[in-house]
Homo-oligomer: A and B are copies of this chain.
Amino acid sequence: MGAPRGAKHYAPAMIEEVPVRPSADDYVTAQRIAFAPLLFQAVRSARDMGVLAALDRAGSAGLTPRDVARETGHSLYAVRLLLEACLSLEVVSLEAERYALRGPGVALLHDERTRVNLDFTHDVCYRGAFHLEESLREGRPAGLSTLGDWATIYEGVPELPPAIRKSWYAFDHHYSDGVFPRAVRMLVQRGVHRLLDVGGNTGRFALQAARAMDVTILDHPGEIAIARASAEAAGLGERITTRAIDLLDHSQAFPTSFDAVWMSQFLDCFAHDDIVALLGRGRAALNETGRIYVVESFWDRQPAESAQVSLHGLSLYFACIANGTSRMYHSDDLLECAARAGLSVEADRTLGPWHTLLVLKP
């Protein structure tokens, strides 16, 4: 009453939120995403065809496309396309017709982690990622058929073509091996003599642990065969027991009376309900003073944003290639599963820059 004419448009209920308007930089980000698969392949090719290495040798002086073509032996056409794609992703800089390597290019060329990630994406994930939407809608790894005819990747890894298998294992080992020595010292300090390594893969952790304790490895038959052979070759055949098991058949009990059940980067291969069941089976495998040791990389606990990006990328691999149901978890997810399995948290600490160690007590 008494409001001036025209003022009604300014009444609080009528105020509309100002929508986000993309900035020029936002459009750059959007186009980098829109062309990402092509640009990714260009960066990979620039690395694998020696373009990045040629720029690296030239240092800040940089090289012209003709220089790079001469040094690498590739066509000027190929070299120009690769350099321009790298320019658009800030992998290289361009000044007065000379291209030079920038920080992200140095990481792509020299950083082991970046190399392992990129190879894994290209060799293992690229083709199957085309089926991500279908995978998420149907809850199954619809992209796995690009690698072989299995229900999950875990049955298939030992049968992958050698080049793809190499990238898979390089990735797997890169993210696990770093924490092994520290983990073994910790287990020894805690007086562990008998350890059950659940999802022990090809036995790389077991081979280290078995120098200090007896180890039993559980995994799929293909991995167990490799682990058995490695144990024998290392002269640790008597310290390491191997047992093939269907980890998803929760009616199959684990062997019992262990001081420690070890689950390192294992639970991320399963959906919530399976994690609860596996923790329950692990719990039943413990002796009176035993503990379950869980090692995971939680995306909410990464000090570096680059690590978070990697874990979010990796989750997509689980969705469209590995099994369609698991992921790299938020720490809250795993803590909730532990509670549901009747386990309390005795310790929750970092184990290397990426990893968290949870010590769980029945």
Contacts and interface: CB of A to CB of B under 8 A. Distances in A.
Interface of A: 17, 19-45, 48-49, 59-60, 74-75, 77-78, 80-82, 84-85, 87-91, 101-108, 111, 114, 117-118, 121-122, 125-127, 129-130, 132-133, 136-137, 139, 271, 299, 304-310, 312-317, 319-320, 325, 327
Contacts of A121: 34-38
A147 to B, nearest CB: 13
B39 A312 contact: yes
5 closest A-B pairs by beta carbon, nearest first, are A35-B313, A26-B103, A27-B306, A78-B136, A30-B107
B312 A37 contact: no
Chain A interface helix/strand/loop/mixed: helix
Contact of A310 (B31, B89, B306): B31
B313 A129 contact: no
A47 to B, nearest CB: 10
Nearest to A75: B139
A24 B305 contact: yes
Given A22-B103, A34-B114, A81-B316, 15 more contacts: A20-B101, A23-B103, A27-B104, A29-B91, A30-B108, A30-B111, A30-B114, A31-B306, A31-B309, A33-B118, A36-B37, A39-B312, A77-B139, A84-B312, A85-B315
B309 A32 contact: yes
A20 B109 CA distance: 12
A136 B306 contact: no
Contacts of A24: 304-306
A36 B89 CA distance: 11
Contact of A38 (B22, B87, B129): B129
Contacts of A310: 31, 34-35
A306 B88 CA distance: 9
Contacts of A28: 305-306, 309
Contacts of A319: 77-78, 81
Contacts of A60: 17, 20
Contacts of A306: 24, 27-28, 30-31
B27 A75 contact: no
A304 B27 CA distance: 9
A33 B40 contact: yes
A31 B313 contact: yes
Q: Which of A59, A137, A315 has the most CB of B within 10 A?
A: A315
Given A39-B313, A49-B137, A118 B75 contact: no
